[in-house]
Amino acid sequence: MSDSRTPAQIEADIVRRRGQLAETLDEIGVRVHPKTIVGDAKARVASRVDQTAGRAFVAVNRTVAGVRAPFVGHDGAPRLERVVPVALLAVGLVGLLVMAGRPAKRRKG
């Protein structure tokens, strides 16, 4: 089995392959460099945090929409027949908590 290439072609092939090998070694050097590894790890963590924050936002948004829905009409106006009783109940509870937190006054006698 003989090679039909000329010595000049073989030499050109060797030069080309050396260049490819040098590029590959440079790329490997960049990939295994500590700064690259740390940067990649930071990017993966940031991506996961972004995904988690996005999921949390969607969950909170759904919850808020679910709580808000009974108190707001289709046009976005408050439904007073539902808002007023809840507001009065909240004011009453806060009042009871304030009164319960105060020390009892002693009578002088």
DSSP the chain: ------HHHHHHHHHHHHHHHHHHHHHHHHHHSHHHHHHHHHHHHHHHHHHHHHHHHHHHHHHHHHHHGGGB-TTS-B-HHHHHHHHHHHHHHHHHHHHHHSPPPPPP-
- Any domain includes 63: yes
72 contacts 78 by C-beta, under 8 angstroms: yes
- Any domain includes 11: yes
- Any domain includes 102: no
- Any domain includes 90: no
Q: How many domains does the chain have?
A: 1
Read off the pLDDT of residues 41-100 as tens digits, 9 standing for 90 and up: 999 999 999 999 999 999 999 999 999 899 998 898 999 998 999 999 999 999 999 998
- Any domain includes 27: yes
Read off the pLDDT of residues 64-78 as tens digits, 9 standing for 90 and up: 999 989 999 889 899
Domain limits at 63?
Answer: 7-78
- Any domain includes 28: yes
- Any domain includes 70: yes
User: pTM for this structure?
Assistant: 0.46
- Any domain includes 103: no
